[in-house]
A = this chain, B = another copy of it.
Amino acid sequence: MVTAVIGVGLIGGSLAIELRTKGVSDHIIGVDSNGQHAVEALALGIVDDMMDLESAVMKADLVILTTPVKAAVILLPQILDKIRPDTVVMDMGSTKDEICKAVKHHPNRNQYVASHPIAGTENSGPKAALKNLFSHKIGILCDISQSNDKAVALAKSIYQALDMNLVYMDSDSHDMHVAYVSHISHISSFVLAITVLDIEKNTSTIFDLAGSGFASTVRLAKSSPAMWGPIFEQNAKYISQALGSYIEKLSEFKAHIDNNNGQAVQQLMEKANEIRKILKD
């Protein structure tokens, strides 16, 4: 099977590695508007060829869109315009509703499957691509009633080849859930980094005091603005709601500290500890 990977960064690159390793695809074509990433993806052997979008889409049995979500909204209709009747298209963006809306009435909508692998690191570009990035994590397929059976079956088989556990949702529910469990984690890290950098102008002090707790909490603050900006824009409604709730609860926690209400602080921490039941490792 010939696969075109549109956007050979962390996700696209890691995906290409798995598709080849697992024998899913014997020819992988990369497409990337970033010339340096194109050169790196070839040099690293992640892809067999780099092509322009139209040539790649014409040749591919499977097109997987792994660009930042702003580009996905623009490229997906163009891809559906050009594909062959038997080609299947998937995207792997972190938002789903706007991307799905962009092709809602496209005549080839049923050749497309909306998806999102919940996997990643704070790094980006083909050099950040990792083997086993997806293993044992969750892959979400959205609005599958809008896709034809062949497309859904192929999308499932791709996620199974990646060793992911499949979950099905509508795209609006997806966006709400990821606002809470993924997007505000990133914002809390970005803003924690800014807060600490602001006060600790002497960076050697931060380095000195950085225990593993701080380092893990702030790790996501290293994430790519080019990737996350469009996610925050497309999922603004749910992110605003989640962030509003987070700020309100932080203010409540602060008020208890200011009022020396140790018992209330204790109760909040005990409630937070319930996350242990869900995230065991």
Q: Which residues of A contact B (CB under 8 A)?
A: 118-122, 137-138, 140, 165, 167, 177-178, 180-182, 184-200, 203, 205-223, 225, 228-230, 232-233, 236, 239-240, 242-247, 249-251, 253-254, 257-258, 260, 262, 265-266, 268-279, 281
Contact = CB atoms under 8 A, between A and B. Distances in A.
Contact of A249 (B189, B194, B218): B194
A253 B191 contact: yes
Contact of A213 (B120, B200, B205, B262): B120
Judged by DSSP, the binding face of A is helix
Given A180-B200, A191-B268, A247-B247, 7 more contacts: A178-B209, A180-B199, A185-B192, A188-B192, A198-B249, A218-B275, A244-B254
A215 B197 CA distance: 23
Contact of A217 (B216, B254, B262, B268): B216
Contacts of A245: 195, 198-199
B138 A272 contact: no
B240 A257 contact: yes
A214 B185 contact: yes
A210 B191 contact: no
A225 B273 contact: yes
B250 A254 contact: no
Contacts of A206: 181, 278
A167 B204 CA distance: 11
B262 A194 contact: no
| Across the A-B interface, the 7 shortest Cβ-Cβ residue pairs | A225-B269, A190-B272, A193-B272, A193-B275, A118-B211, A185-B217, A181-B209
Given A273-B222, A275-B222, A138 B239 contact: no
Contacts of A242: 195, 199
Contacts of A272: 189-191, 193-194, 197, 221
B262 A233 contact: yes
B212 A121 contact: yes
B211 A182 contact: yes
Contact of A257 (B219, B239, B268): B239
Most buried by B among A121, A190, A268: A190
A211 B137 contact: yes
A266 B182 CA distance: 18
Contacts of A228: 269
A253 B243 contact: yes
